[in-house]
Every structure is written in structure tokens, then in C-alpha cells.
Amino acid sequence: MEFVYSLINMLAEMAPYLLFGFLVAGVLYAFVPSGFYRNHLSQPGVLSVIKAALIGVPLPLCSCGVLPTAVSLHRNGASRGASTSFLIATPQTGIDSIAATYSLLGPAFAVIRPVAALVTAFIGGMLVNREDKADGIDANMEVDTIDAPASDSLSGKIRDALRYGFVDMIQNIGKWLIIGLVIAAAITVFVPDGFFTFFAEYPLLSMIAVVIVAVPMYVCSTGSIPIALSLMLKGLSPGAAFVLLMAGPAANFASIIIVSKSLGKKAAAIYLGTIVTGAIVIGMCIDYMMPRKWFTMPMIASEAHCHLHVGWFSGICSVLLILLLINALIRRYIPHKLEKMKNEQTTIIVKGMTCGHCKAMVEKNLAKLPGVESVTVNLASGETTLQGNPDEAAVREVIEDLGFSMD
């Protein structure tokens, strides 16, 4: 029962803030014009790097969803520095994860996390600009990856905001949120108290160990929060926990490969180096320069596995969030039956898609090709069905331009 108590308490703490974050994410999607992001990142120099970081921090995209978006921005005129800045800032945090960070880890983490994303994104973008040479832009290929909803009316936009925030967004991070909560609950219950106190005398060593574990794996910015909380409760320093919060969502092997291919090996090296170095430097500042009381865990967290601490409001929010998670996961993992059509049908397998944003980008960009009447993607299997008679080479080119691969 201790495991169940811990899981329920963490979910109840996060649920109201997550629901608020999903709502704001939907409003950003539905009411901010699609050309806004591209228009503000096309200017060369410092200003575009700063704008890319400022736009990326609240934008609710995970590290997989941000990749095709950044590639598109670069193809449509954004400098390599601005694209790198966007890549670094966006997956580290977002409206939803800022709210969830405040709920579980307190105001200090909630403030430091977006500030760190801004600072590291600016440094990384400026370093890439410094290395940058005259970089030609492919004017013949536009790949739209930041979608604008089709609705023009206020009621339509509200509907789009609710659908994106409470369906699409939850599809994107739902699995990772559940995994993060389960891992956190398991750590809280099964790892002995003080297990990580060995590292207390060697904070730099603990941060390097966290980097080695965090970089290869994928964990979204929201899913990393309960894991960081549980590790801190077992003795890991706040600075080392912050390294997980920063490096885990922002860097993984897939993103490094795609950045290298799209922006160049130097940009990829700067991208990874900025994230890792920034995480460790800021983590050291947290452990040595900031008051430890700023990072004291709330009493409910330290007793999360002993008793239930669920109020009526957080209980209602928890039930609503669970229902939304069930709905999103059913939509994502249970294939919909395709209606039989008389048109010619082509089925391919697209590899590398990991979220609803990836799915939407593949569907939208393939649908633009001549001869394609409709596109349906099964995210769980990667099976992509095209109605019509498109050119295979053109299909492959679009998929690879988005950063995916095709069987």
C-alpha cells in the first residue's frame, strides 16, 4: 500500500498545476498565429537568439517534438544560432512543467529552471552564431511544423485550445508522465532513506553520474519532476537533482544525431556541451551558493508513502487527469479502424516518431505532396497509410527532412 499511497499523493500534488499548464498550452497553440515563431527567428544576430530562447521556454514541446520544428525554422530562414537556442530552451521546460515543478519542488526550482533554460539557450545560440558562416537557405522546400489551427471563430479557437491542451498534449507526454510517477513512487518506497548521502561529499561526482544516466535516456520535462523529487528525498543534493531536470529532457542520442545532420557537427557539439556544462555549473551554484532552505521538500513529500494527503480539490483534479490520460492513451495506442476506400493505398513504416506532434507533422507534410489525398499515421507502430498515388522519392525526402526515417 505504501507504493500506492506515494503514487496517489504525487499525482494529487501535480494534477491541478498540470491541468492549468495544459490549458495555457492549448491557448498558446490556438491563439498565437502560426507565422509568429518563424517571423521572429529569421533575423540574424543576437536578437533572434534571444527571441528563440524566450519563445522556447513556455512552448509545450518535448525533445522529440521540438526537433522537426527547429529543422523547419532553420529551413525557412532562422539562423543556426536561433535554431540551436530554440532546441536548447524548448524541451527543458514549458508552461505545464513550470507549474508542475512549483507543485512538487517549490518556487526556487520553478524559477531557476526556466532561467537556466534561457541562459544556456542564449549561450549555445551565440556560440553557434560565432562559428557560423554564410548559410544558404533552401527556398524550394518549406516544412511547416508549428501548426496553426484551422478555426477562425472564437468558439472554434476555444475548441482547438481544449483539444490540443487536453488531448494532443496529454498524448505527447502522458506515457512519460506515468513512467516518471511510477519510478518516483518506487524510489520513494523501495530505496532506503539516505541512500545517496554517500555523494554528499562529492557533488561534482554525483552530477557527472546523473549526466551519464540522463543523456542517453528520454524523459520529458514534466516526467522528470517526480523522479528528481524522489532522488532528493533519498539524499541526492538539489544541485544533482537539477542536473537531471535540465539534461534529461534536453538531450538524448536521437536529438544529437538529428541536430548533427541538420545543423552540422559543430552545432551538435555546442548543443550537447552547452546543456551538460550549463546543468553542472548551475547545479554547483545551487549546492554551494544558494540557501539549502530554498530547496527543502514539503512535509507531504517526505511522508508521501505513509499516508494519503489528498484534498477535495486536488482529488477532483486527479480524477479528471486520470480520465484524460486514459482517453489520450487509448487514442494513441489502440489503432483506429480505417474505412475502406476505392483509391489506391500505400502503406509505409516511419521510424523515429515518439509523440503526437511528430505524428501531426508527418501527416501534414505528406498531405501536401502531389497525388496524396489523405494520410493516416498510427503512432504506436509507425504505420503510415497514404491514399492516392504519390512519388516514393518525394515521400522519402519529406520524411527525412522532418528528421525521421522510412522503411
Residue 264: the pLDDT is 78
Q: What's the 3-state SS for the chain?
A: CHHHHHHHHHHHHHHHHHHHHHHHHHHHHHHCCCHHHHHHHCCCCHHHHHHHHHHHCCCCCCCCCHHHHHHHHHHCCCCHHHHHHHHHHHHHCCHHHHHHHHHHHCHHHHHHHHHHHHHHHHHHHHHHHHHCCCCCCCCCCCCCCCCCCCCCCHHHHHHHHHHHHHHHHHHHHHHHHHHHHHHHHHHHHHCCCCHHHHHHHCHHHHHHHHHHHHCCCCCCCCCHHHHHHHHHHCCCCHHHHHHHHHHHHHCCHHHHHHHHHHHCHHHHHHHHHHHHHHHHHHHHHHHHHCCHHHHCCCHHHHCCCCCCCCCHHHHHHHHHHHHHHHHHHHHHHCCCCCCCCCCCEEEEEEECCCCHHHHHHHHHHHHCCCCEEEEEECCCCCEEEEEECCCHHHHHHHHHHCCCEEC
Which pTM was predicted?
0.65
**Minimum mean pLDDT among 44-53, 142-151, 239-248: which range?**
142-151
The proportion of the chain whose per-residue pLDDT surpasses 90, expressed as a percent, equals: 7
Please count the CA atoms within 13 angstroms of the CA of 73 that sit on its side-chain side.
Answer: 36
Confidence of residue 282 (pLDDT cuts 50, 70, 90): very high
- Count of positions (residues) in the chain: 407
Report residue 64 as a C-alpha cell.
522529440
Task: Name the 3-class secondary structure at 383.
Answer: strand
The residue assigned the cell 508549428 is: 146
Q: What average pLDDT score do residues 143-172 get? A: 73
pLDDT at 115 > cutoff 90: yes
Specify burial of residue 153 (Cβ count, 10 A radius: 0-12, 13-18, 19+): exposed
Banded pLDDT at 11 (limits 50, 70, 90) = confident
Q: For residue 280, what pLDDT is reported?
A: 93
Amino acid found at 318: S
294 vs 20 pLDDT, higher one: 294
Q: Which of 199-208, 255-264, 337-346, 375-384 has the lowest mean pLDDT?
A: 337-346
Domains present along the chain, CATH in parentheses: 2-312 (no CATH), 345-406 (3.30.70.100)
Weakest mean pLDDT among 175-179, 247-251, 374-378: 175-179
> What mean pLDDT comes out for the span 293-318?
68
The pLDDT of residue 123 is above 90 = yes
Residue 347 DSSP class? E
3-state DSSP of 12-33 = HHHHHHHHHHHHHHHHHHHHCC
Rounded average pLDDT over 200-210:
81
The answer to whether residue 183 scores a pLDDT higher than 60 is yes
